[in-house]
Amino acid sequence: MLKNSSILITGGTGSFGNTFIPMTLEQYNPKNIIVYSRDEMKQWDMSQKYTSDKRVKFVIGDVRDKDRLARALDGIDFVVHAAATKIVPTAEYNPFECIKTNINGAMNLIDACIDSGVKRVVALSTDKASNPINLYGATKLASDKLFVAANSYADTNQTTFSVVRYGNVMGSRGSVIPFFSSLANTGELPITDQRMTRFMITLEEGVKLVWKAFDDMHGGEIYVKKIPSMTIGDIAKAVAPEAKQRIIGIRPGEKIHEQMIGFEDAPHTFEYDTYYKILPAIHSWSSDPLRINGGKKVNDDFIYTSDNNTEWMSVEELREWITQNKSKIGRI
């Protein structure tokens, strides 16, 4: 589907974009990939990797700027929406800015994609959007709802929208693995709560889920990857087995356990081999055979949280992953 197409990725200089772009270039050989973001320095650094690849192009712009989005989307077939204000404490202390990017930016992108005749749009979401307790999660829930409901315009335009939701990206900038790695030599790691659990996913798995969404979507689906969980204590053991763990308590806006599918969504959720699909409750889309596409309905009391997960990553498995990906940790 993506072969010989034009793709734009918002927030494309972030962790996801740095993995999505080389993987997609190799797998699908698109006509071009447009990196749309507001940080000129990150764009400059990233552009040095693609000086000889004319398929990758860079556009300075902000999702808050609808006119700039409209210009950048000219001739674009597919969009990946990765731009967001994502750091939980940052969002708690700067709520207006978080809302402007995560909600207003989503509205701008939806309108601009429809007006520009984009074929398909996949927006990246987060486990924090399910039963949110922090502002970041609340804005991403609102964003998810916007992208789902945008398909109501399907009778009058050719653009379809879907969402991909996943948890903690292993080794990404600002995440727990590089944070613990930076403190490993001190002999002590700050642990919020020994009970805390988190979903674990690699960026490569996230990219493949986006590819799956582009191929499978009919509009309004939320795709949730099946991924393992770990306790925060075990993550610390994998990074620095000899370090003492000091309990510091939960930060503002944090959960003990993360959730990707709540029981409220269970009546509209279907299971597949490697992922779940939450179908829209509106317009009877959750009973649409095209959207269900062979999925198995989950039980009405189903819930997918990091503590009730049936799949767990061991300390040894994470330690092996860290060894194999040491050069990328904190840089992706």
Q: For 57-80, write each residue's pLDDT tens digit.
A: 999 999 999 999 999 999 999 999
Instruction: Count Cβ atoms below 10 Å from residue 322 Cβ, excluding itself.
Output: 18
pLDDT at residue 121 tops 80? yes
Q: Which token pair is 218?
A: 């009919």
pLDDT value of position 156 = 66
Tens digits of residue pLDDT in 175-202: 889 999 999 889 999 999 989 999 999 9
**Does the structure show a pLDDT above 90 at 264?**
yes
pLDDT given at position 89: 86
Report pLDDT for 173.
77
- Mean pLDDT check: name the lowest of 131-135, 151-155, 157-161, 260-264: 151-155
Question: Average pLDDT over the chain, rounded to whole?
Answer: 94
Query: pLDDT tens, 93-108?
Result: 999 999 999 999 999 9
- Our CA angle for 256, 260, 263, nearest 5°, is 95
Residue 328 has pLDDT above 90, yes or no: no
DSSP string across 229-256: EEEHHHHHHHH-TTSEEEE--PPTT--S
pLDDT number for residue 1: 87
pLDDT at 154 over 60: no
31 is catalytic: no
Question: What's the pLDDT score for residue 254?
Answer: 82
Whether residue 174 is predicted with pLDDT greater than 80 in this model: the reply is no
Torsion angle of the four alpha carbons 78, 275, 320, 249, in this order, in degrees rounded to the nearest 10? 100
Tens digits of per-residue pLDDT, 2-13?
999 999 999 999
Q: Is residue 143's pLDDT more than 70? A: yes
Cβ–Cβ under 8 Å, residues 235 and 199: no
Share of the chain above pLDDT 90, in %: 85
Its pTM stands at 0.94
CATH code for the part of the protein at 6-166+203-226+260-305: 3.40.50.720
The pLDDT value given to residue 153? 81
Structure token pair of residue 37: 């973001």
Q: What pLDDT does residue 155 have?
A: 59
> Does the pLDDT value for residue 252 go beyond 90?
no
Compute the average pLDDT of residues 266-274. Answer: 97
Backbone angles phi and psi of 259, in degrees to 5: -130, 135
Annotated catalytic residue, options 42, 86, 128, 237:
128
* Both tokens assigned to 248: 């510091």
